[in-house]
A and B are shown apart, each in its own frame.
Chain A
Amino acid sequence: MRIKPLALATPLVLSLMFAAMSTTEAHAYLDGGSGSMLLQLLLGGVAGLAVAAKLYWYKLLSLFGIKPKAAASEEAEAERATQR
């Protein structure tokens, strides 16, 4: 039985990553649960952790008021996609 130390550390790490975020409506009738959707990053293995790191990095940048060009346009696209 493999015990994953990462599995214990990552919830703590993830919880430190996200400060207050914007409030917009979800677009499915089902509430996927914020925590459950974030967990999928860990369940995604190494690739998931890479995405988690990126999320953290963008969050960090936004705390300094910096919005990287790529991030800004991606976010705009994501907003359009979810609004469709």
Chain B
Amino acid sequence: MSAVLSQAAATPEGAAFVIQTEPGSYRDRNGCVFYRGNRIFRGLSKAALENWEALQRAPFFEANRKSGKIVDTWSVDPQKEGLAEGSWAGIVEHARIPFISYPYEWPFGMLKDAALLHLDLMCQALACGMILRDSSPYNIQWNGVHPVFIDIPSFAPLRKGEPWVGYRQFCELFLYPLMLQAYKGADFRPWLRGRIDGIPAEDMRRLMSARDLLRPGVLLHVVAQSALQQRYSSKGVNVKSQLATAGFDKSLIKRNVNKLADLVAKLVPPPIKTEWSDYDRTHSYDEKEFQRKLEFVRAAAATRRWRLVWDLGCNTGTFSRVAAEHADYVVAMDGDWMAIERFYQHEKAGAASRTILPLVVNLADASPNQGWRGAERKGLAERGRPELTLCLALIHHIVISANIPLADFIDWLASLGTAVVIEFVGRDDEMVQILLANRDDQYDDYQPDIFRQLLAARFDIRAEQDLKSGKRRIYFAEPKAKL
């Protein structure tokens, strides 16, 4: 398949020169991503190299590269970098994305904005006689709340009479998931996580009720597409050259892309109120105690500069923003999609941070390794270990709601090698009482002294403080120094 470039690392210094191919970069044989140390390279075939050169000449590329909508990419000289060219015609380097994420972790707004970016780039490419060869949200990553297109080889010159080959994929991976949430109120994330290629037209068609057929875009993009796909699925039809003969023109693609952009722009999630989306207003802290908690978190975060911070159970991001003052990058996660949606929209409209990434993650069932050989999409911890983790107003949900033993959770935190700011929510706190109200209390481990004991066994506690008159206790702890 690809030229696997490997140089054995006999020494720790040599390890920086070890080349690792990206196991998820295999579908398009024209190129392959590989890493060396902290740098990301891509080998290009002769055809891909020609496309890359054409892309660099296209006016829209430079403008979008500067504005951050297309990932910064530049050609490298293999000799200078000490890279064996192997069978590649050329090599480019990409700017690094701080933390990789996948569409099954994005709230509605992020998938929608990714779709709009994709369509926008399609429009601009078409104007320069180019097109995007595929339409996958996995080609889009994020710098904070700013989407960035990363699949450079996807740009190719548009041949005369060629239709938009990526249209079907656009529907399966962008449009149908958005419609599923907008029209049916169903969370699209499990669908995308469960099927790496997205929702097929046939399945989408079956989900549509009579009422849905009247909704924008359904008759054409779902019903007609499903019908036509079924009609032509088993025929060895070369539709592409037939269309070219009949004079298929890029203006047809343009019209479709523009109408899709109008359609996607109007899609919004239904106004459901999830349990925690109102947290900012309804959390159980009074103002004074909230400020004390805030100050503790701020003081802990300020002890040093952190390369990567995780805010677990971040809700609408108040503490993520505090951590971001002292961090290169913050990944803010919560299992409540509406809270993350609010977080994203608020951040986008406000400071529009490039360093805070909101994601929908259920910690009890976080994204695993997936895809071909379980290496195409990576599990959460594989994508970057945090140096600081915030676990505020979280532990009672982990132990009581999710039934994860306290020792296990602390063990997991310790395995990440991260410092923690963690809040123990006592049994006389209103929130815990609500959780225990309808459950058998099997949580013998959920006691403040047991918690402190478990924490102190794996971490060095640097600071601790009572909150809410002793109902909660917050800790700042660092991993035990290795001997």
Residues on A lying within 8 angstroms of B by beta carbon are 1, 3-4, 7-8, 10-11, 14-15, 18, 20-24, 26-45, 47-48, 51-52, 54-55, 58, 71, 74-75, 78-79, 81-82, 84
Chain A residues, Cβ within 8 Å of B30: 29
Residue of B nearest to A46 (CB): B255
State which of B167, B233, B241 has its C-beta within 8 Å of the C-beta of A32: B167
Known: A40-B256, A43-B255, A43-B259. 17 other contacts (CB 8 A): A1-B216, A3-B219, A4-B219, A10-B224, A18-B232, A26-B240, A28-B165, A29-B29, A30-B169, A34-B237, A36-B229, A37-B243, A38-B239, A40-B253, A44-B256, A48-B252, A75-B245
Given contacts A37-B167, A37-B239, A75-B245, contact A44 B255 (CB under 8 A): yes
B228: which of A24, A26, A39 is its contact (CB, 8 Å)? Answer: A39
In contact, B165 and A42 (Cβ under 8 angstroms): no
B238 to chain A, nearest CB (A): 5
- Cβ distance A46 to chain B, nearest Cβ, rounded Å: 10
By the criterion CB–CB under 8 Å, are B252 and A40 in contact? yes
Chain B: how many interface residues by the 8 Å CB criterion? 54
Q: A44-B252, A81-B160 are in contact. Are A37 and B165 (CB under 8 A)?
A: yes
**B168 touches A (CB below 8 Å):** yes
Distance of A35 from chain B, by nearest CB (Å): 3
Q: Does B276 contact A (CB under 8 A)?
A: no
B453: Cβ under 8 A from any A Cβ: no
Query: Which of B201, B241, B255 contacts A82, CB < 8 Å?
Result: B241
* A/B interface sample: 24 pairs, CB < 8 A: A1-B214, A7-B224, A10-B224, A18-B237, A21-B236, A28-B133, A30-B133, A31-B168, A32-B168, A34-B235, A35-B232, A36-B201, A37-B163, A39-B220, A41-B252, A43-B220, A43-B255, A44-B256, A45-B252, A51-B247, A54-B246, A58-B245, A74-B244, A78-B160
Contacts of B259 in A (CB 8 A): 43
Cβ of B159 within 8 Å of any chain A Cβ, yes or no, is yes
Instruction: Determine if B227 is an interface residue (Cβ-Cβ < 8 Å).
Output: yes
List, in ascending order, chain B residues with CB within 8 A of A71's CB. 245
Kindly list chain A residues whose C-beta atoms are within 8 Å of the C-beta of B216: 1
Measured CB to CB, the closest approach of chain A to B160, in angstroms, equals 6
Which of A20, A34, A43, A75 contacts B239, CB < 8 Å?
Answer: A34
Which of B223, B235, B245 sits near A20, CB closer than 8 Å?
Answer: B235
Residues of A within 8 A of B235 (CB): 20-21, 34
Contacts of B215 in A (CB 8 A): 1
Task: Please report whether the interface of chain A is mostly helix, strand, loop or mixed according to DSSP.
Answer: helix
Q: Is B238 a contact of A36 with CB atoms below 8 Å?
A: no
Asked whether B67 is an interface residue with its Cβ less than 8 Å from the other chain, the reply is no
Cβ of B242 under 8 Å from chain A = yes
Residues on B lying within 8 angstroms of A by beta carbon are: 27-30, 133-134, 159-161, 163-169, 171, 201, 214-216, 219-220, 223-225, 227-233, 235-249, 251-253, 255-256, 259
Residue contact A78 to B245, C-beta cutoff 8 Å: yes
Closest partner residue, chain A, to B214 (CB atom): A1
In the bound complex, what is the Cα–Cα distance between A54 and B230 (angstroms)?
23
Most buried by B among A3, A8, A39, A42: A39
Contact present for B238 and A43 (CB under 8 Å): no
Q: State in angstroms the CA–CA spacing of A39 and B201 once bound together.
A: 13
Question: Which residues of B sit under 8 angstroms from A51, Cβ to Cβ?
Answer: 243, 246-249, 252
Question: Which chain B positions have C-beta within 8 A of A8?
Answer: 219
Cβ contact within 8 Å between B231 and A78: no
Q: Is the CB of B220 within 8 A of A42?
A: yes
In the assembled complex, the CB of B212 is this many whole angstroms from the nearest CB of chain A, namely 11
- C-alpha spacing A78/B216, complex, angstroms: 35
Inter-subunit contact A30/B241 (CB<8 Å): no
Contact partner of A39 among B134, B166, B225, B253, CB < 8 A? B225
**Residues in B neighbouring A55, C-beta threshold 8 A:** 242-243, 245-246
Q: Would B244 and A47 count as touching, CB distance under 8 A?
A: no
Specify which chain A residues have a CB less than 8 angstroms from the CB of B248 in the assembled complex: 40-41, 51
Residues of chain A with a CB closer than 8 A to B231's CB: 11, 15, 35
Q: Which residues of B lie under 8 Å from residue A44 when comparing CB positions?
A: 251-253, 255-256
Given A21-B237, A47-B255, A81-B159, also A15-B245 (CB < 8 A) = no
The smallest C-beta distance from B172 to any residue of chain A, in angstroms, reads: 9
Known contacts: A11-B228, A30-B169, A39-B225. The answer to whether A47 contacts B240 by CB under 8 A is no
- Given the interface contacts A20-B235, A81-B160, does A14 sit within 8 Å of B133 by beta carbon? no
Contact A35 B227 (CB under 8 A): yes
- Bound Cα distance from A54 to B227, whole angstroms: 22
Known interface pairs A37-B240, A71-B245; A7-B220 also in contact (CB < 8 Å): yes
